């Protein structure tokens, strides 16, 4: 990095790091992303990563004094922080500009860009005040929230376990189980707004196993609650896949954990959809996962008194 940029840019990046204006480094699309703030100047979002074999950067500063193929001081600062923090780089990252954006989202973003900053800030704050997910995403984007701490992870694990225990405590019915599953999904969707971490991924996998243990009750009442196990399980799996895409975990370790989770479940696990993991594991590991999750001659459900999944579901 020192050889790749001009000395004044490198020195300015070091000064920026020392100033404490750089936010938490997060994984986005296989690259490193952060927020550069200032007490008096604008706030910039910066992304750096390896794209098609070459180091690439995107920054909100759009510095007119920087050539298109050069790195601005913000990109250099983020790169240095990521390197010194042991960041794991993907060899085929996707920059924010390459992300697929739905036409309606892009249209609304273009409208939002026309608003005065103060009015846009108030609009976001009003909605964030009543929406935990938006509030968490706002604080994360602003660099005010980092990855979950050990203490926060412990509280969330206890919360998820408590939700599951309460669902079948005392006088309960299947509606209580369905509500518990949705509460678990809601908690994890808030977790997903924070910067991803290996510990948070393990928490999501624990929550998936908790739901696997609860969903069997709903399958017993499939005539009334036939859709809920798939909907709730799909929500949990979506959070898991999204976090895996951010972290890019070792594929052999990931497939090993998935095989273990699927083997421990008494019903079809909510993470048992190999196709969703194709981009993370590759076809060979997906084939291995398919074979290991359901050995020849064994039913896809182990039962323990639970009925087989109806063919219509």
Tens digit of each residue's pLDDT (9 = 90 or more) over 39-95:
777 788 999 999 988 889 999 886 555 555 578 999 999 999 999 999 988 888 889
233 touches 197 (CB < 8 A): no
Determine what percent of the chain is predicted with pLDDT higher than 70. Answer: 90
pLDDT tens, position by position, 258-269:
999 999 998 899
Which of 1-10, 139-148, 253-262, 283-292 has the highest average model confidence (pLDDT)? Answer: 253-262
Residue ranges of domains in the chain: 7-98, 103-141, 150-293
pLDDT tens, position by position, 86-140:
998 888 888 988 888 899 999 999 999 999 989 999 999 999 999 999 999 999 8
pLDDT higher than 90, residue 256: yes
Distance of CA 66 to the CA centre of its chain: 33
pLDDT tens, position by position, 228-241:
899 999 999 999 99
pLDDT for res 67: 56
DSSP string, the chain: -TTTS-HHHHHHHHHHHHHT-B---EEETTEEEEEE--SSS--EEEEEEEETTEEEEEETT--TTS-TTSPPHHHHHHHHHHHHTT----TT---GGGS---HHHHHHHHHHTTS-HHHHHHHHHHHHTT-HHHHHHHHHHTT---SPPHHHHHHHHHHHHHHHHHHTSSS--HHHHHHHHHHHHHHHHHHTTSPP-HHHHHHHHHHHHHHHHHHHHHHHTHHHHSSHHHHHHHHHHHHHHHHHHHH---HHHHHHHHHHHHHH-SS--TT--GGGGHHHHHHHHHHHHHHHHS-TTS-S---TTPPPPPTT-
pLDDT for res 4: 83
Its pTM stands at: 0.74
pLDDT tens, position by position, 81-95:
999 999 988 888 889
pLDDT for res 223: 80
pLDDT for res 150: 96
32 touches 50 (CB < 8 A): no
Higher pLDDT among residues 308 and 283, named by residue: 283
Measure the CA–CA gap between 203 and 180, rounded to whole angstroms.
Answer: 17
Measure the CA–CA gap between 143 and 35, rounded to whole angstroms.
Answer: 6
Determine what percent of the chain is predicted with pLDDT higher than 90. Answer: 61
pLDDT higher than 90, residue 24: no
pLDDT tens, position by position, 3-12:
888 899 999 9
pLDDT for res 63: 53
């Amino acid at each position: 990095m020192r050889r790749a940029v001009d000395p004044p840019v490198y020195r300015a990046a070091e000064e920026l790091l020392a100033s404490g204006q750089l936010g938490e480094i997060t994984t986005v699309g296989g690259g490193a992303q952060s927020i550069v703030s200032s007490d008096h100047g604008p706030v910039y979002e910066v992304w750096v990563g390896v794209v098609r074999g070459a180091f690439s950067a995107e920054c909100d500063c759009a510095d007119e004094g920087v050539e298109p193929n050069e790195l601005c001081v913000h990109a250099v600062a983020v790169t240095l922080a990521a390197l010194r923090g042991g960041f794991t780089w993907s060899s085929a990252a996707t920059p924010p500009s390459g992300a697929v954006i739905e036409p309606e989202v892009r249209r609304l973003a273009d409208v939002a860009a026309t608003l005065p900053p103060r009015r846009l800030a108030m609009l976001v704050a009003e909605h964030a005040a009543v929406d935990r997910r938006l509030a968490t995403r706002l604080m994360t984007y602003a660099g005010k929230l980092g990855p979950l701490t050990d203490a926060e992870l412990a509280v969330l694990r206890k919360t998820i376990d408590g939700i599951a225990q309460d669902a079948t405590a005392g006088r309960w019915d299947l509606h209580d189980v369905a509500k518990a599953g949705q509460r678990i999904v809601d908690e994890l969707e808030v977790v997903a707004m924070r910067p991803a971490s290996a510990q948070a991924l393990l928490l999501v996998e624990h929550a998936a196993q908790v739901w696997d243990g609860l969903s069997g009750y709903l399958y017993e009442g499939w005539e009334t609650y036939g859709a809920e196990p798939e909907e709730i399980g799909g929500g949990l799996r979506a959070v898991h896949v999204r976090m895996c895409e951010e972290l890019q975990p070792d594929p052999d370790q990931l497939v090993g954990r998935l095989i273990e989770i699927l083997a421990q479940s008494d019903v079809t696990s909510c993470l048992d959809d190999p196709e969703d993991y194709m981009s993370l594991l590759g076809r060979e590991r997906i084939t291995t996962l398919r074979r290991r999750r359901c050995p020849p001659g064994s039913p896809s459900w182990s039962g323990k008194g639970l009925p087989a999944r109806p063919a219509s579901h």
